[in-house]
Structure 1
């Protein structure tokens, strides 16, 4: 069991670009995969160069994009961007969470892809409405 000392540490940055490049630097210096989080819209666009750099430099990075709620997709929501389409050309993988019960599986796959083979960047779009749902305990698979 993890202790509080071993828990991931959240560092708040004033700029999405800085957050992604800081995560890249952490991964390079520690040899561990790093995680950065950006909001949808311009935040995702600001994270694009850092994800591309990490991927081209074989740095294991997971970029979490807090995306718009699923009911807003295709309705012209202010910060709606096609996250998967934007990041597929510059990362190892880009995927959108479709159901909250798949979160353990999608995170496990992200870390596996980011660190396996030639390391690189994996981008996960997490629709906001799913982040507020309860995780179904018994129906969740932790294996990919």
Structure 2
């Protein structure tokens, strides 16, 4: 199952923002109202006139588009995508990352310990033998 909120490999940051805005059914004006950014700024980002947005702008866009802030900062080139992969210390970390990548949770903190323990139990009981 494809998650439409994930950035495709060949998609630029500006193309991704425009696609998600349209997927949400927002006009540039509506996104402007949700983010506090000017309509002109959003238009210039999507057209590529502004090649790099500052981190505050990216965070505002993430909030307005209901996206994970950390993931959008990765897409914008501000955070290293490998950082998350090197911090996986247990099966629970892999479960969190998998659920996040599927779009089922917004961040790795959105799932409680009891749920993780249950998923870990299921994987051990019914997983590969």
What TM-score, normalized by structure 1, do the two folds share?
A: 0.29
More strand as a share of residues: 1
Q: If you compute each CA radius of gyration, which structure gives the higher value, 1 or 2? A: 2
What TM-score, normalized by structure 2, do the two folds share?
A: 0.32
More helix as a share of residues: 2
